[in-house]
Amino acid sequence: MKPRRGFTILELSVVLALMAVLAAAVSLSFTRRLGAANQEQALQAIQALDQRARAMARTHEASYHLQLDGRRGSMALVEDLGGSKTTVDAVQIDRGHGIQDVWVLIRGRRITRDVLTIPIDPQGCTPTYGFTLMPVDTGPDPAAPIHLLVAGISGQCTPMDNHEQVNDILSSVVRHDAD
């Protein structure tokens, strides 16, 4: 009998099937990490624009506005020069995410709109505002939405896990303002 050379079709099929399963697992892991990185990058860009807007208002002792546009998934810094408004800078959220549930808290009232203009006074203060950064991709394992709450006076941006946390904080702010 001759010595056997090579592999049988069955052996090759098993190896190919194992390689396909491993490739799928690696692909899912990579996609999930990429989505989380994109979400973090979007949050950092939004936080940086908010901080820049506050600093510009204090430096120039002028009024500015942040405009959150849920339909376009963007946030813009707008300079207000006596009725003339000029866009100074803007952040476009990547295609994998969108801004939803945009709201601002003014004098104890929560105002919600698709496009919301948030005033920044010359001291760099805004009303408390927030929004939800929603993943648009609904693949096999989409990223969770992030609810971002921005404190009006300090500008501290706090990511939250759910609406209940946001509502609890807003309720305490409204109670404190009423006292």
Q: Is residue 107 part of a domain?
A: yes
Q: Could you tell me which residues come within 8 angstroms of residue 108 by beta carbon, excluding any fewer than 6 positions away?
A: 173, 174, 177, 178
- Report the pLDDT value the prediction gives residue 178, as an integer from 0 to 100: 40
Task: Please tell me whether residue 45 adopts helix, strand or coil conformation.
Answer: helix
The confidence score (pLDDT) of residue 59 equals 92
What is each CA distance from 67 to 6, 51, 154, 156, 173, in whole angstroms?
A: 67, 14, 19, 18, 23
pLDDT, tens digit, 9 for 90 and up, residues 98-156: 565 666 666 666 677 777 888 889 999 988 887 777 766 555 556 677 788 888 888 88
Residue 65 lies in a domain: yes
Into how many domains does the chain fold?
1
CATH of the domain at 57: 3.55.40.10
Q: How far is CA 163 from the centre of its chain?
A: 15
In a domain? residue 35:
yes
Determine, yes or no, domain membership for 2. Answer: no
Residue 81 has pLDDT above 70, yes or no: yes
**Mean pLDDT value across residues 18-28:** 85
pLDDT digits (tens, 9 = 90+) for 62-74: 888 888 877 777 7
Q: Could you report the per-residue pLDDT of 26-44, keeping only the tens digit for each?
A: 877 766 676 667 777 777 8
The whole domain housing 108 covers: 9-178
